[in-house]
A and B are shown apart, each in its own frame.
Chain A
Amino acid sequence: MHDLIVIGAGPAGLAAALAAREAGLEKILIVERDAEPGGILNQCIHNGFGIEYFKEELTGPEYAERFISDLSKTDIELMTDTMALRVTGNTVHALSAKGGYRVLPAKSVILAMGCRERARGSVALPGDRPSGILTAGTAQRYVNIEGLAVGKRVVVLGSGDIGLIMARRMTLEGAKVLACVELMPYSGGLNRNIVQCLNDYDIPLYLSHTVTGIRGKKRLTGVTVSRVDDCFHPVPGTEIDFFCDTLLLSVGLIPENELTRAAGIKMDPRTRGAVVYENNETSLPGVFACGNVLHVHDIADLVTVESQRAGRAAARYVLHGKTPDSSVVSVQYGEGLVYALPQKIRIKIADDVTTVYFRVNRIFCSGTVHVYGLCGEIASFKRTHMAPGEMQRIKLSRELLQKSGGEITVSAKEADA
């Protein structure tokens, strides 16, 4: 019987397992479907990781290696090439070529499966179905891990960070990146990536544009790009034709929650992840969720911090027993927000200060974040700049939460509105 089984050995799973060990758990197992730990960090060879957590700039593989190296100094068991098929409150069903089908009992489970990319099927692209259309992350794996060339003339649809990073990477590998096309009137990626991946290489960014045509029999030969109106409908007469052999899609990420849903864990349709308490515990006692499987993060550093919290909570659950479910404050997202997390805070067991994470649904130049309890506003925070691509944080003290009356609503407004 394991004290804890962690599903996934990416940044979330590694940080969670190490934190649980530090908090006193003995028998810990990590189940990983890839051949080695590290998760998506292994293919993110660019730098920019660790600035917040390690206070120094690292590449993805370097960031991963810090945790992998710490892991190797413990007796935490790592089962690679193993697929978790099913999770219940106290077992994990796992399958591997070496070990066959195993039912592994566990006192607690941490879900750290990460997310996957939205592909062509999720964005309803019209036109032919030739080869040469792939997600930015797939191209990233081909180029950075397998050393394969992906294409020579490239158009990128979507301006998410992976798409921007790959525009630069393909350029440096000798390809011509013709355009980056974004449906929204603003980019979904970080400023830094717009500047260093597009502007540095004179790659044009077409905002409020989308792909309206795809041509090619066997291999992609070209795409048509059109401007869209305020309702995202293509405007006739604005078509631009690009001759290209590759279309990279960077159109969003979806938390990979098949195991979570099958376990009957309560989900949040906004985050597409589990509904969690302040310590990352899901609706199934003893099962915790952290990292991109819970909600998609912008930076790995925040995944690390969140996952360490989940790891400590799993240790507390195993060592001190079930968490009493009293004095729960529910967290609602209000005007201007896409979601807020955690969805529930148990005031009595929460830390003195609880961090609430949220995303806004549009750009705020000079915003104010309002926190309302059942009897009116209990706190407000000024933010000079907020954009949908940047996860926001506010810190709420226990005293403040006690004033809420059992429910808080977080809203964002433009300061002068």
Chain B
Amino acid sequence: MKELTCTLCPRGCRLYVDENNGFAVTGNACPRGAEYGRTECENPVRTVTSTVRVLSKTHPRCPVKTDRPIPRAQVTDAVAALRNITLCPPVRLRQIVLENVCGTGANFIATRSL
């Protein structure tokens, strides 16, 4: 039995997920909570945000994000993969900064223009 907090609304239900019983969820006040509890246990995903180096005096960093959520277990490796990247201005909004991050199929894209 796994215990977690639902993040879909401010109410924050305490969910109990039974991994041995087809990820059955209890403690949820609405059906969306059951779906959340199941996904969080089966395959939790996160959109990752970070920054990369830019060759610029006024803006030494450019913010980036993954263009889709990636498995939570790969978040740390995904951020580490950005360490060797340096951008040269101009940077376009949504420009791809790193393709297929850690084999997830997601790309890191710039979240501002520089």
Contact = CB atoms under 8 A, between A and B. Distances in A.
A190 B9 CA distance: 9
Nearest to A146: B60
Interface stretch (A59-67, A109-117, A267-275, A333-341): A59-67
A191 B49 contact: no
Contacts of A199: 4-5
A393 to B, nearest CB: 12
B49 A59 contact: yes
Contacts of B7: 190-192, 195-196
Interface stretch (A82-90, A370-378, A383-391): A383-391
Contacts of B93: 62, 65
B76 interface: yes
A192 B113 CA distance: 28
A45 B50 contact: yes
Interface residues of B, number: 29
Interface residues of A, number: 32
Nearest to B8: A192
B12 A191 contact: yes
B112 A146 contact: no
B58 interface: yes
B53 A61 contact: no
Interface in B52-82: 53, 58-61, 63, 65, 72, 75-76, 79
B11 A385 contact: yes
Given A144-B61, A144-B63, A145-B61, A196 B12 contact: no
A200 B49 contact: no
Contacts of A147: 51, 53, 60-61
A47 B51 CA distance: 13
B24 interface: no
A155 interface: no
Interface in A172-218: 172-173, 190-192, 194-196, 199-200
A35 interface: yes
Contact of B5 (A42, A58, A61, A195): A195
B39 interface: no
Contacts of B29: 384
B39 to A, nearest CB: 13
Contacts of B76: 172
B75 to A, nearest CB: 7
A147 B12 CA distance: 34
A348 interface: no
Given A61-B63, A172-B76, A200-B72, A45 B4 contact: no
Nearest to B7: A192
Contacts of A191: 5-7, 10, 12
Contacts of A65: 93, 112-113
A46 interface: yes
A62 B111 contact: yes
Contacts of A172: 50, 75-76, 79
18 contacts: A45-B63, A61-B63, A144-B51, A144-B61, A145-B61, A146-B61, A147-B61, A172-B76, A173-B79, A190-B10, A191-B7, A191-B10, A191-B12, A192-B7, A200-B46, A200-B72, A384-B11, A385-B12
